[in-house]
Structure 1
Amino acid sequence: MAQSGTDAQGNAPAGVLPSQTLRAMIASGAISAPGGVPEALIQPASLDLRLGDRAWRIRASFLAGQGKTVAERAERFSMHEIDLRPGAVLEKGCVYLVPLQERMRLPGDVSAMANAKSSTGRLDLLTRLIADNGVEFDRIEPGYDGPLYAEISPRSFSVLVRPGMRLNQIRLRRGDLTMDDDALRALHAAERLVDGEAHIDGGLGFSVDLTPRGAAPVGWRARAHAGLIDLDRIGAYEPTEFFDPIHPAPGGGVILDPGAFYILVSREAVHIPPLYAAEMQPYHAMAGEFRVHYAGFFDPGFGHAAAGGAGARGVLEVRCYEAPFALEHGQVVGRLVYEPMAEAPDRLYGTDVGSNYQGQGLKLGKQFRDPA
């Protein structure tokens, strides 16, 4: 009989590594941190990463590049060091480098990719992973052995951070089994990945919901001169102190302003079956002068009825670029790329693991009170 985590021939299966495999990698020291890696960081198909106790204000974003370490490159771009232990303000429009507590020693057949957590993206808080020898943000090559760093750039709001805060997460995979469109159509036929018609073209397309809802907004636009957000204060802030509500124009749709940041919601309810994981990606650039600003991970069980997620929609973090753009109801704005899990996770995204956005509709980050 094959051991857990191997196939009948004793080979480790390809796919996204699940929670129980992440737990085993922590136990073996392949994933480590001073004082250990707590269970609370383990998600169904990803691992949360924690800020360390210091940061550097840097004058430019950078990548380490082949044969160079992040620490070496930081010496060139660092302006001053910041102690995060008493709490520190990361100011809007600035760029910071923060060593993370977690360290990776990946097997030779396992790579990693990172993304901002949902609450991070909804605050327009650009957070990207960088690593030694790295030539891309948020990507780590198989066999990497070294420290991890977060580049953080608040775009709309200044934020108060402390050591241990979790702004980004990492997903490990063996091989690359991203599903092509034919496989995705078959999965949709079996599992119903979205309600209604499935638009499949280079992934599962999703569109924006701009249906008028009476007095309720169809979205939110970040205010230009808002106050400070303490990321530890959950449900503490009034939405209208930081965002303006968005309503459709009389003729329908909304006009996106260049440089503005919006929170919108998908028209489709999204479903990630337990044996799959997904990533949100921008739609084709020729679709308009905007993009879904942050990609994001969707873990197994998101929108899964048995995990309390029936009707869960995708929240869209949208930024408009060079010219004003008229966005219409039902316009395709992004896509979900699916890939199989190496094996079923021992936990699913949902209320049982403290997930904040299961069953969601239009929703701001967890720091904000629900609108009346």
Structure 2
Amino acid sequence: MTTENPDETLFAADEPESYGKHSTGILPGHVLKRLIRARREVVATEEFDDAQIQPASIDLRLGPVAWRMRASFLPGPNATVQEKLSNAVLHEIDISNGAVLETGCVYVVPLLESADFSFRVSGIANPKSSTGRLDVFTRLITDRAQSFDRVETGYKGPLYAEISPRTFPVLVRKGSRLNQLRVRRGNPQFTDTQLRRLHAESPLVDCEPNIEDGLGLSVDLIGTDSGPQIGWRAKHHTNIIDIDRRGVLDPREFWDPIEPSKSGNIVLDPDEFYILASREAVAIPPEYAAEMVPFNPLVGEFRVHYAGFFDPGFGYTQGRPPSARAVLEVRSHEVPFILEHGQIIGRLVFERLTEVPVEAYGEGIGSHYQRQGLKLSKHFTD
């Protein structure tokens, strides 16, 4: 635990018990710390680490065992996860000191954290950015769940991660953090009218915004930042990636660079995984958080952005233009698809926090992707 500034640790002096200035919204990091200290809303079998608490979310930790599954599943409204395991588990794996999760396989891992949500409190989960950029498909499951990545209002019970590496085999261990949880009180709506007003007050993108059911983001296929390439395509049959080791891997052992074409487009090959970047630079004001939602499948044969959370402060510096590109994790489907420069391929939906976080996303807290352009996960050298 960090001890240099005791007022900011999980065990600081008592603070007023509230959810923040606003009665509804996403809970910021300092409120989450307060609630965790009081053993409210989110509890764990082991002591929390300060590093788990992000500006608007909690990193969730893997427990000591993983179950290799026959297939993915949801327990449904009348069963717990444990009750469903007997018909789906192939074998149990001890990951206490590390184990490899193979590509093309499905695993379920009990998490060290569990929910103890009160009235009006719910949660939404997503893979961490570094997880999504490795093409590790990770989803949260709860007892009696009818959908992934959702923790219903008032839920009290265990949390599980479903993990399926799609491209690279990964080494994980007890305590590895692959996904994150946002905790919300109430269900405030944020309309397109409010989004236009917010952009007028604090620019969200560095161009005229496309606002319709959220903020549209388009793809850069010509190299807006004048870099040597416009993307990366994942290689197959690579070495293992240790999920907890930063900055140690040579990108070209795992990725092929993609250079811009004269036509300004790219053909997505079936079942390939790409890292691309948005044409727009993005900024998330400190009192707001955003999520990239699944895009309408009717506009293209691809899926964009496994890791959908954008933290308050991402790409934001007061008085300056937006400074960070959204990195787009793109997986094609059954048929080749031509992606054009400037094509809208994702939308950000915004939500207010209950109050401004004490520490927003940025260099000050060691955020890895602030001011990013096209960027691979933190596991690779620059």
2:36 paired residue number: 26
Shift of 1:248: 2.5
Q: Which moved more, 1:208-217 or 1:145-154?
A: 208-217
Q: Which moved more, 1:274-283 or 1:31-40?
A: 31-40
Residue 18 of structure 2 is aligned to residue 5 of structure 1: yes
Residue 308 of structure 2 is aligned to residue 296 of structure 1: yes
1:119 paired residue number: 130
2:12 paired residue number: none
Contact 1:51 1:100 in 2 (8 A): yes
- Name the aligned partner's letter for residue 257 of structure 1: D
- Name the aligned partner's letter for residue 168 of structure 2: F
Indicate how the Cα distance of structure 1 residues 84 and 245 shifts in structure 2: closer, same or farther if over 3 A, else same: same
Shift of 1:295: 4.3
List per-residue Cα deviations over 1:243-264 (Å, max 9, x = no partner).
1111233322111101111000
Shift of 1:163: 0.7
- Name the aligned partner's letter for residue 35 of structure 2: M
Determine which of 147, 159, 178 is the counterpart of 1:136.
147
Contact 1:92 1:158 in 2 (8 A): yes
Residue 37 of structure 2 is aligned to residue 58 of structure 1: no
Contact 2:172 2:242 in 1 (8 A): yes
Contact 1:60 1:95 in 2 (8 A): yes
TM-score by length of 1: 0.94
1: distance between equivalents of 2:256 and 2:360? 34
Q: Which moved more, 1:294-303 or 1:28-37?
A: 28-37
- Name the aligned partner's letter for residue 259 of structure 2: H
* Helix, strand or coil at the partner of 2:86: helix
Matches within 5 A, 1:74-93: 74-93=85-104
Shift of 1:177: 2.0
List per-residue Cα deviations over 1:299-349 (Å, max 9, x = no partner).
111111159995111000001112111111111110100011111111101
- Name the aligned partner's letter for residue 122 of structure 1: R
- Name the aligned partner's letter for residue 276 of structure 1: Y
Contact 2:325 2:373 in 1 (8 A): yes
**Structure 1: stretches of 5+ with no match in the other structure:** none
Shift of 1:291: 2.1
Q: CA RMSD in A?
A: 1.8
1: distance between equivalents of 2:355 and 2:204? 19
- Name the aligned partner's letter for residue 21 of structure 1: V
1: distance between equivalents of 2:19 and 2:108? 38
1: distance between equivalents of 2:114 and 2:319? 31
Indicate how the Cα distance of structure 1 residues 74 and 19 shifts in structure 2: closer, same or farther if over 3 A, else same: same
Determine which of 260, 265, 273 is the counterpart of 2:277.
265
**Structure 2: stretches of 5+ with no match in the other structure:** 1-15
- Name the aligned partner's letter for residue 314 of structure 2: F
Determine which of 72, 84, 89 is the counterpart of 1:73.
84
Residue 165 of structure 2 is aligned to residue 154 of structure 1: yes
Q: Which moved more, 1:243-252 or 1:324-333?
A: 243-252
- Name the aligned partner's letter for residue 192 of structure 1: P
1:97 paired residue number: 108
List per-residue Cα deviations over 1:181-228 (Å, max 9, x = no partner).
111111111110100110001100010111147771100011122121
Q: Which moved more, 1:287-296 or 1:125-134?
A: 287-296
2: distance between equivalents of 1:231 and 1:225? 17
Contact 1:18 1:344 in 2 (8 A): yes
Shift of 1:5: 3.2
Determine which of 47, 52, 64 is the counterpart of 1:41.
52
1: distance between equivalents of 2:69 and 2:320? 43
Q: In percent, how many aligned pairs have the same letter?
A: 55
1: distance between equivalents of 2:308 and 2:60? 15
2: distance between equivalents of 1:39 and 1:235? 22
- Name the aligned partner's letter for residue 261 of structure 1: F
Determine which of 166, 170, 176 is the counterpart of 2:181.
170
- Name the aligned partner's letter for residue 85 of structure 2: A
Matches within 5 A, 1:323-342: 323-342=335-354
Indicate how the Cα distance of structure 1 residues 4 and 154 shifts in structure 2: closer, same or farther if over 3 A, else same: same
Q: Which moved more, 1:345-354 or 1:356-365?
A: 345-354
2: distance between equivalents of 1:308 and 1:354? 20
Contact 2:295 2:304 in 1 (8 A): yes
Count of residues in correspondence between the two structures? 365
Shift of 1:121: 0.1
